[in-house]
């Protein structure tokens, strides 16, 4: 989306220069027309550019394909070093975690039929890595580590129900089931329909779906 916006910004500058040139030559009405075009193009860029920046923090949705790998190494009592690998880019992040269980949360931005007709495709981003630990009170204590980088106009917030953006953007959340952390455990996370599916890799490989935990 950045390339068309750069072209439109360039058009705005050229139109403004032509307007100035025609004004100096005494062609007032022609200058006014070119200035109007420059202003319309600049307004369009100013409106759409922050949205494009925000969408750059998301990835195209690929149903059934792995979006992340997570590997755990014990670093102390109920402490783990977690390596999160984004797929397919391979970008890695390392976290020092405390607790017993973990899960990933993601956000997805879809589009209404009107917006989809313009060629817009669903996008997602991993939002947080959460951990929780059992406590004496019986209520788990949880901590969340942000995974997403902020930028541009936050469409998720603006597309709240009954907002103007909700007629264009369809937002939804995904959360994997809570899984136990253990030394040497390796997991693969996939977007599958409306769920984040976790598969454990290794001799005890298995598959869990969210169960409301």
Q: In the 3-class helix/strand/coil scheme, how is 99-125 assigned residue by residue?
A: CCEEEEEEEEEEECHHHHCCCCCCEEE
Q: Give pLDDT tens digits along the chain (213 positions).
A: 455 555 655 656 666 677 677 777 777 777 777 777 767 766 665 666 677 777 888 888 887 889 999 999 999 988 999 999 999 888 999 999 999 999 999 999 888 888 788 788 889 999 999 999 876 666 677 889 999 887 767 888 887 887 877 888 888 898 999 999 999 999 999 988 778 899 988 644 444 444 433
- Please indicate, yes or no, whether residues 142 and 68 belong to a single structural domain of this protein: yes
Question: How many structural domains does the chain have?
Answer: 2
Residue 213 lies in a domain: no
- Please indicate, yes or no, whether residues 77 and 166 belong to a single structural domain of this protein: yes
Residue position matching structure tokens 């907002």: 163
Domain containing residue 79 = 59-208
The Cα 91–Cα 147 span in angstroms is 12
- Please indicate, yes or no, whether residues 9 and 97 belong to a single structural domain of this protein: no
pTM as predicted: 0.72
3-class SS of residue 46: helix
Q: Which residues of 161-181 are buried (b: 16+ CB within 10 A; e: fewer)?
A: eeeeeeebbebeebbbbbbeb
């Amino acid at each position: 989306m950045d390339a068309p916006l750069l072209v439109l910004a360039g058009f705005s500058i050229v139109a403004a220069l032509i307007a100035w040139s025609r004004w100096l030559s005494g062609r007032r009405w022609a200058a006014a027309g070119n200035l109007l075009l420059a202003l319309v193009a600049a307004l369009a860029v100013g409106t759409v550019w922050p949205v494009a920046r925000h969408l750059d923090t998301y990835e195209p949705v690929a149903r059934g394909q792995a979006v992340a790998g997570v590997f755990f190494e014990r670093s102390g009592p109920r402490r783990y070093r977690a390596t999160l690998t984004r797929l397919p880019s391979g970008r890695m992040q390392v976290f020092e975690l405390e607790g017993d269980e973990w899960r990933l949360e993601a956000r997805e931005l879809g589009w209404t039929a009107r917006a989809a007709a313009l060629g817009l495709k669903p996008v997602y981003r991993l939002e947080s890595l959460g951990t929780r630990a059992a406590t004496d009170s019986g209520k788990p204590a949880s901590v969340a580590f942000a995974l997403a980088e902020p930028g541009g106009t936050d469409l998720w917030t603006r597309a709240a129900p009954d907002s103007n953006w909700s007629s264009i953007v369809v937002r939804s959340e995904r959360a994997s089931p809570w899984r136990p952390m253990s030394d040497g455990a390796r997991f693969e996370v996939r977007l599958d329909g409306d769920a984040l599916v976790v598969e454990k890799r290794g001799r005890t490989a298995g598959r869990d779906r969210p169960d409301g935990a």
